[in-house]
Amino acid sequence: MNIVDDEDDEGTPLEQIVAGVVMALTFLVGFGLLALGNPFFWIAFPVGFAGVLPAAIGLVRLYESRQTEEADEAQSGTEDALATLRRRYANGELTEEEFEEKVERLLETETVADARNAVSARRMREPEPDVESEQN
């Protein structure tokens, strides 16, 4: 019976880079100790390949899973906001122009950084109120 894994055996590009770096460092340390005449040079290989390599790959997978979760949460937040806008438009709370403006604003501000940039750009476009006329 053949068990098929959903994930690639090769791993992600980041996993491959980390694995390559850990293996290179393991060989460098191990053979460096051998060249220096250290009789315990061989300890670098089991420590590197059985300890450091799996730990590094595990940390990369944890990092990537958290990145995926954050992206999924952001996507679901956008979908919830769109659903709310659609409901408000369907109930007549928003005009067509207001709905389209809010959808555009929502789609251009998918991340917090995008939202900050959009707000600052909007403030730059809007004329500031005249302070002297408000005081009179």
Q: In this structure, is residue 70 part of a structural domain?
A: yes
Q: Is the pLDDT of residue 8 over 70?
A: no
**Secondary structure element (H or E) that encloses residue 8, with its range:** none
- Tokens 């730059």 appear where? 124
Sign of the alpha-carbon torsion through 79, 81, 83, 86: negative
Residue-wise pLDDT for 78-130, tens only, equals 777 778 888 888 888 888 888 788 778 777 766 656 666 766 776 777 665 55
Looking at the structure of the chain, the number of domains it has is 2
32 and 70 in a single domain? The answer is no
29 and 69 in a single domain? The answer is no
Give residue 1's pLDDT. 45
Angle among Cα 95, 98, 101 to the nearest 5 degrees reads 150
Q: In this structure, is residue 93 part of a structural domain?
A: yes
State residue 133 phi and psi, 5-degree precision: -70, -30
- For all residues of the chain together, what is the average pLDDT? 80
Q: In this structure, is residue 94 part of a structural domain?
A: yes
Q: In this structure, is residue 104 part of a structural domain?
A: yes
The answer to whether the CB of 110 falls within 8 A of the CB of 74 is yes
* Structure tokens belonging to residue 98: 């207001």
* Structure tokens belonging to residue 59: 């940390």
Domain extent for 115: 65-123
Confidence of residue 26 (pLDDT cuts 50, 70, 90): very high
